[in-house]
Chain A
Amino acid sequence: MMSKRLGRLLPWRSAMAVLALSTASTCFAVSQIDTFEFSNEIQERRYRALIDEFRCPKCLNTNLAGSDAPIAQDLRKVVYRLVVIDAMTDQEVRDYLQVRYGDFVLYAPPFNSRTWYIWIVPIGLGVLGVFVILGLQRRVARQQTGLDPAQQARLQNILQERSTADSSSAGDGHKHSETER
């Protein structure tokens, strides 16, 4: 066991650390800053939003904005060109990169015949959550009297008649147990 460990001694470059950013990769820890010129603020905002959305093809999970890798720099230049010079819309820029680098490069997975369930499943879970709450609400309502809405209405009528006869507030039946915690 010992010698196997020694034999597999990792060279220092690949030793990683807690929440560590790879020593080997130029990908993380930004030292490259592009100085592009924009004609208006909206363009600049769009550019920044877009480079946040695309994944650097080479890095270990970084977006174009946060990577120093050469390919990331090149792709930022491409996005700049597409937004500012070619005046493409956001979706056109996404399509442009998707055609060349595949779905991988989009941090928001596309919605198509291959990937529709990626979005539908969590939406379904959300809807399920809503149904759970509604279902519990209905059970809670029924718990109080065990009656359905029609019977509830009849009961209310009877109680109203009774309360006009004697003036106590008969509707307020439950004593609340207020064990304040």
Chain B
Amino acid sequence: MIPELGNFALALASVLALGGAGLGLYAPREQVLQNGVLSMVFGQWAFSLVAFVALVYAFVVDDFSVSYVANQSNSLLPWYYKVSAAWGGHEGSFLLWILIMSTWMLAFCWRSDQYPERFATRVLGVLSLLNLGFICFALFTSNPFLRLIPLSPADGADLNPLLQDFGLIVHPPLLYAGYVGLAIPFAMAVAALLEGRVDATWARWCRTWTNMAWALLTCGIALGSWWAYYELGWGGWWFWDPVENASFMPWLAATALVHSLSVTENRGTFKSWTLLLAITAFSFSLLGAFIVRSGVLTSVHSFAVDPERGMYILIFLALVVGGSLSLYAARAGQNTANVGYELLSREFFMLVNNVIMVVALAVVLWGTLAPIGYEALTGGRISIGTPFFNAFFVPLGLLLLGALALVPVLNWKRTRAQVLMSVYQALGVSAVLGVLVWFVLDPSALLVAAAVGLSTWVVMTHARHLGFRLRKGNVPAAYIGMTLAHLGFAMGTTGIAITATQSVESDVRMSPQSSMVLAGRQVTFTGVVNVLGPNYRAQQGIFVVTDGDTSYELRPEKRQYFAGGNTMTEAGISAGFLADTYISLGEPLEGGAWAVRAHYKPLVRWVWLGALLMALGGILAVFDKRYARQRRRQVVRQTASQGEVTVS
């Protein structure tokens, strides 16, 4: 009964999406009709929530007559994994996507009183149209509510053990929140193009939404990387897999957008470019969905291959992105402001950022899709992986760091050369540090030393200027946000440079009571015990790691899950701010010995902490008082009194 209710609710949501799209895009002037659009958006949210809750309910009560539940779940699964198993497979995860989309739309409704009515209605119309596409996709090709009557199994097939983890609970919702959140700037760009009006005020409206979506996407990607690291057993945290690239591409576009919006808001220029970025960012979210769910690219992460689904997404992609890019080509460039700026200015450096982001984006896109092109043209097969991407991202990253270091002292339009003094001083110090690092590591670690030196330079200029401004007076939250985000980037880059090159890995045969040395620490293998989990049994190895006078215990496991009989390795990790110690068990060898893998990974946590810092910076910027909700009347008054440049 409940699953059918969920299905029905989803169908109702689609009707409301259709209504909202039609009415919204018509952009009525009558208050009544505008309110109609708002209620239709609310309705979409309410019904998609009902549908989602219905699905989760089916999981929680072990309703194996629903085929999706039977595939993903099992009666022995702990309740929190039953809930998260709801988004463990394609159909359910797409329902989550729809719920998140509806929630973003609701949030926009809630804040829409600060925007001109017709504009807000148009935006909601575009969003409803997108939502309509998503809901129809779910209803017709990926319905999670399909039943298995009369063949319902007695028990489910169990959730993949790799997913029975905290990571599944948080990573998809955050990631989707980011992906889908980029629909808001997309819709705002399309609405602006439809209206024929793009100006600094539009950019200001767009910024809060973009920053929030960007921050959530950053968290989502960082979580995914962290999850892969501790779950997979070989210490890697990024593989340039097509699915990972699918999440990285919208992130790069969104980062460019965040910066470009700042220029458009403050100086009224780069308008066409900002519009294009806003369209591009969400387009890459959709492209990502296509890559992950259509089976076009081989990846361990992709969902079950189904050409019918892939075709649908491709057509949807063609209509949405093709339509918006055509609209862009037809109507953008109608209002351009000629505002001058110098080389040493925020505008120019934002441009540099954008160019680097776009080149990076193009490299990832090329690396992901070129194998398809190659196979289509020549019939042969090639692989493009980490060595290729690293070859480009190392120079791009170093360039970005270098440009970033100057940013805090730059003003809009023109900066006096004198302020660069502090930057040069910081450069001197960082260069010395870089050389020291190079000296301490080996000569081949020149790039690592360069990364560390440049990151230090960034940290120094940013911290110094933040301190300077704090002493002068009130600092806007957005400025602190920017500083944090840039510091986070420097931290992340340092972490990546060090952990990728200075990690120590050792695969050895260990018998009980034997020891080995790992990066100056002693690792003693005490033995293996048998343990019993809620739905698995495991052999647990006990290792004692001694570092000077501190010692701690690590317990990696080899688990066997009852339902499905899967074997899984769970690594024993000691997480530290400065380094991780990571041990996993291999196969048992003769004589009671075991194959053991031990890693020492310096600064690996900095990768994710840096990303979290970036996200925090983005969120802080969202809550800057200057962007707080202002009712429409006040906006007009405010604009006049602050003498803002509104070029149209």
The answer to whether residues A30 and B595 also contact, given A19-B243, A103-B381, A109-B388 and a CB cut-off of 8 A, is: no
Instruction: Tell me how many residues of B have a C-beta within 8 Å of chain A.
Output: 100
Q: How far is the CB of A29 from chain B (nearest CB, A)?
A: 6
B44-52, B279-287, B329-337, B356-364: which lies at the A interface?
A: B356-364
Does B392 contact A122, Cβ atoms closer than 8 Å? yes
**Is A5 close to B, CB under 8 A?**
yes
Q: How far is the CB of A136 from chain B (nearest CB, A)?
A: 6
Tell me, in angstroms, the Cα distance from A116 to B566 when the chains sit together. 43
Main secondary structure of the interface of B (DSSP, over half): mixed
Does B148 contact A122, Cβ atoms closer than 8 Å? no
Give the one of A5, A12, A63 with max B CB within 10 A. A12
Q: How far is the CB of B157 from chain A (nearest CB, A)?
A: 3
Interface set, chain B 472-499, CB cutoff 8 A to A: 476, 478
**Is A96 close to B, CB under 8 A?**
no
Instruction: Tell me how many residues of A have a C-beta within 8 Å of chain B.
Output: 72
Interface set, chain A 82-120, CB cutoff 8 A to B: 102-109, 114-115, 118-119
Does A129 contact B356, Cβ atoms closer than 8 Å? yes
**Is A31 close to B, CB under 8 A?**
yes
Give the one of A17, A20, A27, A66 with max B CB within 10 A. A17
B233, B302, B363, B413: the one within 8 Å of A16 (CB): B302
Does A25 contact B392, Cβ atoms closer than 8 Å? no
Does B88 contact A25, Cβ atoms closer than 8 Å? no
Does A140 contact B342, Cβ atoms closer than 8 Å? yes
Does B298 contact A60, Cβ atoms closer than 8 Å? yes
Tell me, in angstroms, the Cα distance from A25 to B243 when the chains sit together. 18
Does A31 contact B587, Cβ atoms closer than 8 Å? yes
A31, A35, A133: the one within 8 Å of B567 (CB): A31
Interface residues of B (CB under 8 A from A): 67, 70-72, 87-90, 93, 140, 143, 146, 148, 157-160, 162-163, 167-168, 171-172, 224, 227-228, 232-234, 236, 239, 241-243, 262, 265-266, 298-304, 340-343, 348, 351-352, 355-356, 358-359, 362-363, 366-367, 370, 374, 378, 380-388, 391-392, 395-396, 411-414, 416, 476, 478, 505, 507-509, 558, 564, 566-569, 584-587, 589, 595-597
A-B pairs with beta carbons under 8 Å apart, 24 shown: A10-B304, A15-B72, A16-B89, A18-B171, A19-B163, A20-B163, A30-B234, A33-B584, A61-B242, A61-B298, A61-B299, A103-B382, A105-B383, A108-B387, A118-B382, A119-B388, A122-B366, A126-B359, A129-B356, A133-B352, A178-B411, A180-B411, A181-B265, A181-B412
Interface residues of A (CB under 8 A from B): 1-2, 5-6, 9-10, 12, 14-23, 25, 27-36, 48, 52-53, 55, 59-63, 65-66, 102-109, 114-115, 118-119, 121-122, 125-126, 128-129, 132-133, 136-137, 140-141, 143-144, 174, 176-181
